[in-house]
Amino acid sequence: MAPFSVDGSGVAAHPFVPLPGPSPKADVRHGVYSFSSPDATNPAVAGLATWRQMKGPSAPASVSAP
């Protein structure tokens, strides 16, 4: 496996351009209640939103602990 290396060419070719309009304060639909406060996230909702984004609409199987 080749070692990982970086340089500034990717940033130079694709500079960050912010989207127009005001930044969102929260994304309640996906379980993020505040972007400025990391603790204002509901892991149950955010986890399901991440699962749907990666795997599709089906929910993950429940895991029961003894």
Whether residue 32 contacts residue 40, with contact meaning beta carbons closer than 8 Å, is answered with yes
* pLDDT tens, residue order, the chain (66 aa): 777 777 778 778 888 787 788 877 888 887 777 777 766 677 777 777 777 777 776 655 665 555
**By C-alpha distance, which of 53, 30, 49, 48 is closest to 40?**
30
Residue 32 lies in a domain: yes
Q: Is residue 12 part of a domain?
A: no
The count of structural domains within the chain is: 1
Which domain covers residue 43, as residue numbers? Answer: 24-55
Residue 41, number of CB atoms within 10 A of its CB: 18
CA-to-CA distance for 27 and 34, rounded, in angstroms?
Answer: 7
Query: What pLDDT sits at residue 18?
Result: 77
The pLDDT assigned to 56 comes to 73
The predicted model scores a pTM of 0.34
H or E element in which residue 47 lies: helix 43-55
